[in-house]
Structure 1
Amino acid sequence: MKKLNVLEITKNSEGYAAACEHTFTQDEIKGIKAGERMLVDSDGLALIYIIEDDEQFYYVSFGQNTWPMLDEAYKTETPLILEFDSNHTLELVQLHAELDFLLENIEGNSNYGEELETAVCEVFKKTV
């Protein structure tokens, strides 16, 4: 498992694009697909989207600094694309449905930790 930190999310003509700090080889890019599921990193205060290839999983980590733009993409139901480089991208399929599930489960659930719950509710405008 490799963790990929998203540095920023920007809006463009096709939707939203997420840039991460990790550089992939051309061979790695060819085999990567959307995992269509999300997790939470309560300790790191991050929302995690899974991508994968035949050999491993990659955790695409959306830290708090990216949440306002993630929320914008979520609320407008606009696709979010992970940019590997200028020629290779991957749509984070099922992102909106997964966020629906996570946001519903985080609200009022102490299992995620009070700090994460409060931060998520504040940015995604859910009530605690």
Structure 2
Amino acid sequence: MAKKLEVSKLSIGERDVNVLVDNMEFLQNKLIQPEGRMLADSDHLAFVYILDVEDDFVYVSFPERIWDELNRVLKQHLPLFLSLSEDKRVPLTQFEEELQYLISNIEENSNYGKGMVHAVSKAFVV
């Protein structure tokens, strides 16, 4: 079963964004590959980035409470990195493209549920 990490904070710099999560100790000293794919979690109002961690999947969940910050990041076209320590960061490749695709797909699409459609249209300019 895939492990889920929830983003606690985005640290937005001039050139990039550090994605901070709690309880990530299990990721230390493991081979982590970004999948370059995202999912929409309409039950929990979140966007989920997929990581391959030693042949298992880890879901990095971006909850609704940080979507305003995510919108700022999209407008600035900043790359995102999962920050594991001061000297180890994992690039979240294809993040902007995947998120833009999901946002445009969710717009007025009742398959995602009214709550998700409303939350996305409120947080993102679509």
TM beyond 0.5: yes
Question: 1: distance between equivalents of 2:82 and 2:109?
Answer: 29
Aligned-partner Cα distance in 2 for 1:108–1:13: 33
Which residue is 1:58 aligned to?
58
Percent of pairs with identical residues? 35
How far off its partner does 1:104 sit? 1.1
Check the 8 A contact 1:10/1:69 in 2, yes or no: no
Structure 2 match to 1:86? 86
TM-score (normalised: structure 2): 0.92
Aligned to 1:44: 44
5 Å matches for 1:14-29?
14-25=15-26, 26-28=28-30
Structure 1 residues 75 and 13, CA gap change in structure 2 (3 angstroms): closer
Give the alignment's Cα RMSD to 1 decimal: 1.2
- Counterpart residue identity of residue 113, structure 2: G
Q: Which amino acid in the other structure matches residue 59 of structure 2?
A: Y
Q: Deviations over 1:41-64 (max 9, x none)?
A: 111000001111232001000001
SS state of the match for residue 24, structure 2?
Answer: coil
Residue correspondence of structure 1 range 62-77 to structure 2 within 5 A: 62-77=62-77
Residue type of the alignment partner of 1:27: N
Task: Extract unaligned runs of 5+ from structure 2.
Answer: none
Query: What's the TM-score once normalised by structure 1's chain length?
Result: 0.90
Q: How many equivalent pairs are there? A: 124
Q: Distance in 1 between matches of 2:24 and 2:97?
A: 28
